[in-house]
Amino acid sequence: MDHRERVLTAINHEEPDFIPTALWGSAYGVADPLYFQLVDLLHLDSPVLPFRRNKHHTINYYDDRVLEALDVDVRYADCGFTDLGGPTLNGGRDAWGIRYEESAAGFTIAEHPLLEATVEDVQSYPFPAVWKYLRLEEFSAQAKYLKEQTNFAVVGRAFDSFGPFARCCALRKAETFLTDLNLEEDLPFVLIQKVTDTLCKLLEIYLAEAGRYLDMIELPGDDYASSRPFISPRAFDRYFAPSYKRMIEMIHQAAPGCKILFHSDGNMEPFLSRLITLGVDVFHGLGPAPGLDLVRIKEEYGNQLCFMGAIDHIEALRGDELRTAEEVKLRVHQLGRNGGYILAPANHLQPDIPPRNVVALYKSARELGKRL
């Protein structure tokens, strides 16, 4: 199989020749210092220019040469909004009006513009004019090239950094917004609607420009859980499922063959059946979390949902190369049979992960991920 066939076979719940692999998506990228170390280890001369030119994320680089060296099966195209719509080079406000300050951990939110807002304030708030913050020609050309000139699976990176839940938390402050949801008053409905309208306008432009070239598209990431959910499944149905339904229906209409990826950290088992109902094809995450039983999840949902991730980025990849290979063997055994698994880190690879372990991860995936 070629790379694209391998990925699509797995997503369609058939067994490919090898477990397909992914790296450098919106929620499973490579932090800048680790990227520089990989460039040195792989003898790639010098880093590429950052795709996030304002460098306000911890992950600002994307390098196909690294993916080639690791024999990764996917490639990515990016519309530019997470850069042009993000804060300015030294912090400041992003397109949503959220103010960031630089800290030791990167850029953190310093001001939530709708913290004290009323319903009327939300209704009159200047949400982003998204078309001002896109690199459409670059995005379309990259997606077209990857689809027509390569055999990699073409993935459209998330068109915004945050999904409806995380974006509302950023605008309103998480504690305040969670209180809003519990009170079940009008404000959260209005805010979610306004955020979703903005995301859908962005998605409309995104799909018109490149939807026909994509094999898979990432929805903007939303973290609904850690060891336990932040909101109840009932609250998800009430407040957020309609937003995802709108976006997924737009994708199905504009790009019928495009698979849909949803990311969340934590133990998302209570939400998986809901994601299936909404039309999600691929779920990324499955990082270490108390009570998360991957064997049970595969048995219960593996015929309807393809899993991506599961590689422990917290402990396993910080060990030695043997520990990395053991992690690959375990996840392939738990999730790989009968297709339905794309091997990838469960979250971003951080600077304290040895670069040799990244190489060992993908080498082990090819050695241990043969047809089961």
Q: Domains in the chain: how many in total?
A: 1
For 131-164, the pLDDT digits (tens) are: 999 999 999 999 999 999 999 999 999 999 999 9
The domain that contains 146 carries what CATH number? 3.20.20.210
Range of the domain at 41: 3-368
Q: How confident is the model at residue 89 (pLDDT cuts 50, 70, 90)?
A: confident
Q: What is the pLDDT of residue 24?
A: 97
Please give the pLDDT value at position 140. 98
Q: pTM, whole model, 2 decimals?
A: 0.96
Percent of the chain scoring above 90 in pLDDT: 90
pLDDT, residue 88, reads: 80
**75, pLDDT greater than 70:** yes
1-57 confidence digits (pLDDT tens): 999 999 999 999 999 999 999 999 999 999 999 999 999 999 999 999 999 998 888
Query: Considering only 87-101, 169-183, 194-208, which range has the smallest mean pLDDT?
Result: 87-101
Whole-number average pLDDT of the chain? 95
**The pLDDT of residue 227:** 82
Contact 310, 331 (CB under 8 A): yes
